[in-house]
């Protein structure tokens, strides 16, 4: 069983989604995250152990991405493989058998249509055991506030790719804080810096998806 679970982790780290997937070429023709997870669950493997192996795999690939050892395509494939696993594990979360670490409300701020980086953050954070409510792009402050109201205790993630929309990010932080002063908010995106994040009153700054996960797993879970 341990070997099966560690193979699932390997599939996630290397981005092997399923049997039919040609990526990575070295694993062509082999079963992927999809088939192996199904097999493991049929053999009554503990859901927690599968999730842990996959979380570790996502941590490893995320750390490699931070060190520029792999790039966006590899991260996307890993996230896709993780999604294949999560599709099998989701019913256990929904039934309450396994508890998510918390709720993360994520979106690209008003006026900004860039979503590739935000989608990566979404997938990596979800892959690390958080329930992610992805509001998409061009999200107005009022929409974030509405979602924070609906999800007490949630944590908010804001993404911006344009220097011009950083002002909208600051306005979003301000509006959320006006209604819910204790909400923890992490911001990220290419034009952001830790200093800019602090200046706009965000709780934290994450440079990349792995940074967001690390931040959530420390500050977020401790909340
Ligand atoms: Co636009 N764009 N774009 N664009 N675009 C940039 C961002 C730009 C730097 C290009 C340039 O001029 N060199 C520039 C911004 C300049 C600035 O303000 N400093 C720019 C511009 C100007 C524009 C338009 C204004 C162009 C125009 O119409 N004249 C326009 C704006 C539209 C709008 O949003 N209102 C525009 C439009 C577009 C497209 C629609 C064509 C397309 C977006 C498609 C999409 O997202 N679905 C696009 C693209 C693709 C880019 C570039 C080429 C690539 C962005 C990207 O996806 N990178 C970009 C130039 C570049 O970056 N080389 C550019 C890959 C992605 C994985 O990285 O998004 O940085 P990134 O995400 C990273 C981190 O930032 C971080 O994690 C991710 C992974 O490491 N991260 C977070 C992101 N969000 C996070 C949240 C977190 C934590 C980490 O916590 C919550």
116-156: pLDDT as tens digits: 889 889 888 887 889 999 999 999 999 999 999 999 999 99
CA of 77 to the centre of ligand 1 (A): 20
Q: 221 falls in which pLDDT band (50, 70, 90)?
A: low
The tokens for 220 are 């977020």
78-110: pLDDT as tens digits: 989 988 998 898 788 666 677 788 999 999 999
**Cβ atoms 62, 213 nearer than 8 A:** yes
The tokens for 36 are 């192996």
List C-alpha distances in Å: 206 to 107, 193, 197, 210, 218. Answer: 14, 9, 9, 8, 13
**Does residue 219 register a pLDDT over 90?**
no
Maximum C-alpha span of the chain: 54
Assign a CATH topology to domain 2-95. 1.10.1240
Q: How far is Cα 171 from Cα 53, in angstroms, rounded to an integer?
A: 39
Sheet holding 103-108, edge to edge: 131-134, 103-108, 155-159, 184-188, 204-205
Closest CA to 155 of 137, 173, 142, 136: 173
Q: Which residues pair with 205 in a beta bridge?
A: 187
**Does residue 207 register a pLDDT over 60?**
yes
Pocket of ligand 1 from Cβ distances under 6 Å:
72, 111-118, 120-121, 157-159, 161-164, 186-191, 206, 208-209, 212
User: Roughly what angle, to the nearest 10 degrees, separates helices 33-42 and 2-14?
Assistant: 160
CA of 11 to the centre of ligand 1 (A): 29
pLDDT at residue 223, as a whole number: 47
2-40: pLDDT as tens digits: 999 999 999 999 999 999 999 999 999 999 999 999 999
- The domains of the chain are located at 2-95, 103-219
The tokens for 158 are 């804001």
Question: b/e per residue, 131-163, with b = 16+ CB within 10 A?
Answer: bbbbbebbbbbebbbebbeebeebbbbbbbbbe
The tokens for 150 are 């609906």
> Which superfamily does 103-219 belong to?
Cobalamin-binding domain (3.40.50.280)
Nearest-atom index, ligand 1, CA of 114:
46
Pocket mutation for ligand 1, best pick of 69, 108, 157, 161 (most atoms within 8 Å of C-beta): 161
Assign 208 to helix, strand or coil. Answer: coil
**Does residue 70 register a pLDDT over 90?**
yes
């Amino acid at each position: 069983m341990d070997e099966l679970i560690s193979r699932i982790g390997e599939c996630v780290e290397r981005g092997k989604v399923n049997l039919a997937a040609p990526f990575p070429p070295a694993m062509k023709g082999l079963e992927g995250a999809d088939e192996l997870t199904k097999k493991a669950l049929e053999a009554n493997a503990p859901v927690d152990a599968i999730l842990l192996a996959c979380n570790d795999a996502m941590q490893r690939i995320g750390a490699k991405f931070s060190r520029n050892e792999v790039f966006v395509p590899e991260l996307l494939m890993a996230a896709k493989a993780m999604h294949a696993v999560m599709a099998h594990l989701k019913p256990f979360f929904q039934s309450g058998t396994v508890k998510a670490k918390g709720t993360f409300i994520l979106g690209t701020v008003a006026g900004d249509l860039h979503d590739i980086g935000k989608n990566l953050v979404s997938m990596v954070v979800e892959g690390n055991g958080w329930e992610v409510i992805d509001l998409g792009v061009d999200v107005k402050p009022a929409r974030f506030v509405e979602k924070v109201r609906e999800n007490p205790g949630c944590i908010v993630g804001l993404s911006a790719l344009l220097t011009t929309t950083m002002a909208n990010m600051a306005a979003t932080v301000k509006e959320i804080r006006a209604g819910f002063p204790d909400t923890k908010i992490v911001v990220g995106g290419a034009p952001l810096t830790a200093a800019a994040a602090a200046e706009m009153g965000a709780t934290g700054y994450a440079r990349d998806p792995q940074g967001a996960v690390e931040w959530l797993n420390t500050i977020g879970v401790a909340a």
